[in-house]
Amino acid sequence: VRCQAVEGDKRGAKRNVFDNASNLLTNFLSGGNLGSMPIAEGAVSDLVGKPLFFSLYNWFLQHGSVYKLAFGPKAFVVVSDPMVVRHILRENAFSYDKGVLADILEPIMGKGLIPADLDTWKQRRRVIAPGFHNSYLEAMVKTFTTCSERTISKFDKLLEAKGYGGQNSIELDLEAEFSSLALDVIGLSVFNYDFGSVTKESPVIKAVYGTLFEAEHRSTFYIPYWKLPFASCIVPRQRKFQRDLKIINDCLDELIRNAKESRQETDVEKLQQRDYLNLKDASLLRFLVDMRGVDVDDRQLRDDLMTMLIAGHETTAAVLTWAVFLLAQNPDKMKKAQAEVDSVLGSDRPTYESLKKLQYIRLIVVESLRLYPQPPLLIRRSLKPDVLPGGYKGDKDGYPIPAGTDVFLSVYNLHRSPYFWDNPHDFEPERFLVERKNEEIEGWAGFDPSRSPGALYPNEIISDFALLPFGGGPRKCVGDQFALMESTVALAMLLQKFDVGLRGTPESVELVTGATIHTKNGLWCNLRTRSDLQ
């Protein structure tokens, strides 16, 4: 029993009962059929009051890079090894589906790419992925700058108002500001809808946040109560969730109807010639409707748009949040980033071309994703029996798993693995500039940028799956370059004008997690106009 009850300490005694029950269950389940796989003796108290991925990291250091974890009535295999992750995501990708994650997301995203069954996924991926080509990204960089500009001018106005009161800095929850910025970007670029959330509230915006909140709640709640008959009529939060969904779906349905009605052959020609910069509406919805004709199924389109709204919003906001959190603690790196922005952009706005010269900002974005991956865990369920490679220091014969095994791929553990990264917890954007030949780890190809020539950002190919900010294999994020460019533009434009510091200590910024890692009470910062510009 790991937590000892102190005499008279009721909370301790309660924990003790929990731990005993949980350990019994662990032992019972561990007699299962996972061969010699190490077993983490988790206790229920390990899962209370802190994000699950912290505990998974400690167990990784204790038990190795493939272990089995059982708690409550559930058992999972936890993987923290690039070679095993490569096997599951790339080499044997179609032997797995999204398991628990699909159960959670299906009521929200329907048959959208993330929860979709394999047949639907194959058909829709072929249609959607080409929409994110270079001409589209080039046009979207303009949207990123327009939206970032709104945020910057909001900060300018707030500072100006404070200036009249004799103060030269403002306190802001930057996490909330980045969330509004990312929502505006995704609305305009995916379905040409201006949420305008940087400056206003609306029923649709409230419904989007309500839906995100519910998705988050479901991903941390172990009993799918929302599946109970009549739950959507009786449980108040389920009734609210259904109302929120209807508001968003009505909005999306109208946008789809408009896009179909306004389809013009001249636009189709421009799309075919990739003449995006001369299109009034260059959104992904326009592409999907124009290139596929009006017969494309409305329900499927709506599921696709909803999926991208959810997948592309909080994730990008989280990258910006943690990039600022890390920079605020490393003023010398903030200065270095500002110097790069000054020399590349001066007072101009970023463009598709100038992004290529903002190397340090790009590395900051990826380093932030390394330390705070979104999501910290990828979830899979085996569709047929498989043998997982033993991984680094694991059983050389590998570990057989039966069909139906739930697997957590811990990206957080991979990204902070002491076996694959020097000083894994330190914020060092420069680390990606150093090639790392591998001599000691069998089966891992090392860190070598020449494996992905022309890549603007370090990725899973360069790192042979040690760095996995957007997943890998066939189900890799479709919006990866979009999100990286959006984050680079927004960060560069923030640093071009402002110095940022934390309002409290870094330790006071508590982490919580659902689909993404975010703060418990906001990222409260002091923002001031850069002193070297005044």
Q: Is 95 or 232 the residue whose CB approaches ligand HEM more closely?
A: 95
Closer residue to ligand HEM in complex, CB, 335/476: 476
Q: Which two tokens stand for residue 284?
A: 């992904």
Label residues 468-483 b or e (16+ Cβ within 10 Å = b): bbbbbbebbbbbbbbb
Cβ closest to ligand HEM, residue 159 vs residue 181: 181
**For residue 469, what is the DSSP state?**
B
CB-wise, 25 or 183, nearer to ligand HEM? Answer: 183
Beta carbon of residue 218, minimum distance to ligand HEM (angstroms, whole number): 16
**Residue 49, by phi and psi: left (phi above 0), alpha (psi -120 to 50) or beta?**
left
- The length of the chain in residues reads 534
3 is in an annotated binding site: no
By beta carbon distance, the residue nearest ligand HEM is: 479
Q: Which residues bind ligand HEM (CB under 6 A)?
A: 113-114, 125, 190, 307-308, 311-312, 315-316, 319, 374, 378, 469-471, 475, 477-479, 482-483
Shortest reach from residue 311's CB to ligand HEM, in Å:
4
Phi-psi region of 408 (alpha: psi -120 to 50; beta: other; left: phi over 0): beta
Helix, strand, coil percent content, the chain, rounded in steps of 5? 55, 10, 35
CA distance 130 to 284: 10
Range 448-452 contact pairs with CB under 8 angstroms and sequence separation of 24 or more:
none
Name which of 44 and 311 has its Cβ closer to ligand HEM.
311
Query: How far apart (Å, rounded) are the C-alpha atoms in residues 150 and 399?
Result: 53
Q: Cβ of residue 68: shortest distance to ligand HEM, in angstroms?
A: 20
Minimum CB separation of residue 342 from ligand HEM in Å reads: 25
Report in angstroms how near the CB of residue 279 gets to ligand HEM at its nearest: 18
Select 43 or 109, whichever has its Cβ closest to ligand HEM.
109
DSSP 97: E
Q: How far is the CB of 182 from ligand HEM (least distance, A)?
A: 8
Give the 3-state secondary structure of residue 436. strand
Which DSSP symbol is given to 169? E
Q: CB of residue 206 vs ligand HEM: minimum separation in angstroms? A: 22
354: left (phi over 0), alpha (psi -120 to 50) or beta: alpha
What is the secondary structure of 472-534 as a DSSP string? -GGGS-TTHHHHHHHHHHHHHHHHHHEEEEESS-GGGS-EEESSSEEESS--EEEEEE-GGG-
Shortest gap between Cβ of 349 and ligand HEM (angstroms)? 20
Minimum CB–partner distance for residue 439 and ligand HEM (Å): 30
- Closest CB to ligand HEM among 43 and 366? 366
Residue type at 429? P
Token pair listed for 389: 């490679």
**C-alpha angle with apex 515: 113 to 386, nearest 5 degrees?**
65
Q: Output 64 or 469, the one with its CB closest to ligand HEM.
A: 469
Indicate the pairing of strand 96-97 with strand 386-388.
unpaired
Cβ proximity to ligand HEM: between 44 and 174 the closer is 174
3-state SS class at 191: helix
- The binding site consists of 477
Q: Which residues sit in the known binding site for heme?
A: 477
